[in-house]
Structure formats: C-alpha cells, structure tokens
Amino acid sequence: MEYRRLGASGFSVPALTFGTGTFGGGTEMFKAWGETDVAEATRLVDICLEAGLTMFDSADVYSKGAAEEILGQAIEGRRDRVLISTKATFRRGTGPNDVGSSRFHLTEAVHKALKRLKTDYIDLFQLHAYDAWTPHEEVLSTLDQLVREGKIRYVGCSNFSGWHLMKALATADRHGWPRYVAHQAYYSLVGRDYEWELMPLGLDQGVGAVVWSPLGWGRLTGKIRRGRPRPEVSRLNSKAAVDSGPQVDDEYLYKVVEALDEVAAEVGKTVPQVALNWLLQRPTVATVVIGARNEEQLRQNLGAVGWDLTKEQVAKLDAASARPLAYPYWHQKAAFPERNPFPVEV
C-alpha cells in the first residue's frame, strides 16, 4: 500500500482508508449503508491490515456512536498497528450544548469518542461540519488544548466552504495553534465541485483531501447502468439515504458509467476500481475512504491501488464527467487562465 503525506504535515497515511459507515446500522439511513457487526468488522480489519491499509475513519453520528464502538472492539489489542480518524460537530443529544464546535461540545465529544474507541488518543480528529455560531478562536484553542493533552494528534475539517477553511487557517496561524492538515470532502467522478475552490486552496495552503463517498454515493459500483433496474441491495433504495446525499442527474451518470466501462475494459479492472484510481491521481488527494458491506466488496476496492490509469484514460474520464461551472469559476476559466489556471482540467 502506498503511503502519502497528509497535507503539509509530517504525517503519512495510506492511499486508501477504510470507512466505518457500514458498521452498526443504527438508523434508517445507516441501515441503507450496512449493518456490520463486531465479528464481521474484525474480519474486515484483518483484510485491511493484510493489504497495508491501516487507517480507519468513523464519526460520532455514525449509527449514533455504534460505529465507533464496533471499530474499537475490532481493533482491540492492535491499536499500535492502526490509525484512527474520526469526526464530531453534528447534534448528538437533545440539550442546547449537544451540538456544534463549542469548547463544551468538542471536549465532551472527544472524551466520549475515546471511550467508544477504547483508546487514549485519536490520530486525526476532524470537525464534521462548519459551526457558524462558534468563534474560530474558541474552536481552534480547544483543539490546541486537546493536542497538548495528547488526546488528538492532527486536526482537520470536513464539508467546509473555501472561506470557512481559509478563515480557520488564518486564525490558527495568527495564534500559533494547530492548522487543519486535512479536509474530508466529497469528491467523485460524478461530483467534481471540489476542484473549483477547495482543491486550489488545498494546494496553496497544504491541506490534504480525505475523500468521502468516492463512488458517488453508491452510483459508481458498476451495478447501475442505462436500461437496467436498480440493484436490490443499494443505499439508493432508501429515501433517507438519497435525500441526505449528493443529487446526480441520471443521464449524466450513465454518460460517466459508459466511459468507465470503456476504460475498465482497456485496463482489465472493474468500474469502481477505475473510479477510485482516477481519484488517487488528482492533486491534493492524500487518501480515499472506501467502504464495504462485505469481504468481496472490500477486496475489490483494494484492487484500486498498485497501478495507474494512463493520461489518455484520465482525459477520457475527465471529458465524460465535465459539468458547467458555477460563477465565478466559469469566468475565471474563460477570461484569465493565463494567470489563474485550475489545477486540473474542469
């Protein structure tokens, strides 16, 4: 397994990270992802470690904390062999302080996560969303204290806008607090908005991408094609899951899948393997979070590494997945590419 530098930090992470959204199935939405129990999770962790995949990503809201608990049990006795990434910010109770990135909530969230994970430190802790109520100084000073206490080692964010992230980085620099070295962001062949603002920012500021839902919310598994019924087992059969995820036009999806089919036939790989490999060649991408309901899916996703698409194959996928740009990006591309180029072809 290839290891990559996480942003501008001195920390290395595997090119693939295992996501635990399938662990537990504690809510309607997460049942649509999977219902992996401790025994199954332990087997999946075994396979990951055999392949050199050592980082596991979770969050306190995944199945109401059950995903972290299952992960903690699955890695018990081998904490020194794994890296743990987790997140908090979303509401986790009915009280007025059971939500957000306040000092109160983040401190409570980290302490509870450590108990569920059965560990005394978290390798990468990320804010799961941007809290516009809480001042950056309060957020970052809290994270600084948690780093100093040894409870977390590196900090990141998730689902931030460009100005959210830049303001946080400027605040950290001003006070000498830890900078976000990771941005856990949605990015896929059917969701390339990340390239417009967040990728250039990541390159400029040394923030690595931890990519979530790299298969477009289950759309790039190779099972969804023009003229075929949707598979019986899919998160796309759950209204709660569909409504909470990215929206993708069917015709656009089919166009991308058809291009993936062509490239997959050329390289002798599967559609998801090609989609994941495309991501691994994009600027700023430090690690791609893969999920799996079972051993077969996991082994297939692990086959995305150890080889590379050609420049011509990447260009074919770029062309098939291109979308009209929002303002001001279409103007920047059309009017002044000489001095303000995009990092990739958009």
The model's pLDDT over 288-324, given as tens digits with 9 standing for 90+, comes to 999 998 999 999 999 999 999 999 999 999 999 999 9
pLDDT in tens, 32-86: 667 899 999 999 999 999 999 999 999 999 999 999 999 999 999 999 999 999 9
62 is catalytic: yes
pLDDT, the chain, mean: 95
pLDDT confidence of residue 232 = 67
Do the domain assignments include residue 137?
yes
Taking CA atoms, 339 is separated from 95, 196, 240, 328, 336, in Å, by 50, 15, 44, 15, 6
Residue 231 pLDDT > 80: no
Q: What is the CATH number of the domain that holds 166?
A: 3.20.20.100
Do the domain assignments include residue 187?
yes
For the residues 11-20, what does the mean pLDDT come to? 98
DSSP symbols for 300-334: HHHTTSS----HHHHHHHHHHH--PPPTTHHHHHH
How would you classify the pairing of strands 152-158 and 12-14?
unpaired
Place 245 in a pLDDT band, splitting at 50, 70 and 90: confident
Task: Tell me what percent of the residues of the chain surpass a pLDDT of 90.
Answer: 88
Do the domain assignments include residue 12?
yes
The residue among 1, 25, 13 whose CA lies nearest residue 293 is 25
Do the domain assignments include residue 244?
yes
Distance in angstroms (rounded) separating the CA atoms of residues 186 and 283: 14
Do the domain assignments include residue 200?
yes
Taking the C-alpha atoms of 130, 134, 139 and 142 in order, what is their torsion angle to the nearest 10 degrees?
-140
Residue pair 265/258 in contact (Cβ under 8 Å)? The answer is no
Do the domain assignments include residue 341?
no
Do the domain assignments include residue 70?
yes
Residue pair 15/1 in contact (Cβ under 8 Å)? The answer is yes
Residue 26 pLDDT > 80: no
pLDDT in tens, 92-118: 999 999 999 999 999 999 999 999 999
Distance in angstroms (rounded) separating the CA atoms of residues 224 and 231: 7
pLDDT in tens, 166-218: 999 999 999 999 999 999 999 999 999 999 999 999 999 999 999 999 999 99
Q: Which of 62, 130, 187, 194 is catalytic?
A: 62
For the chain, how many structural domains are there in total? Answer: 1
Q: How many CB atoms lie within 10 A of CB 31?
A: 17
- Which residues span the domain enclosing 259? 3-335
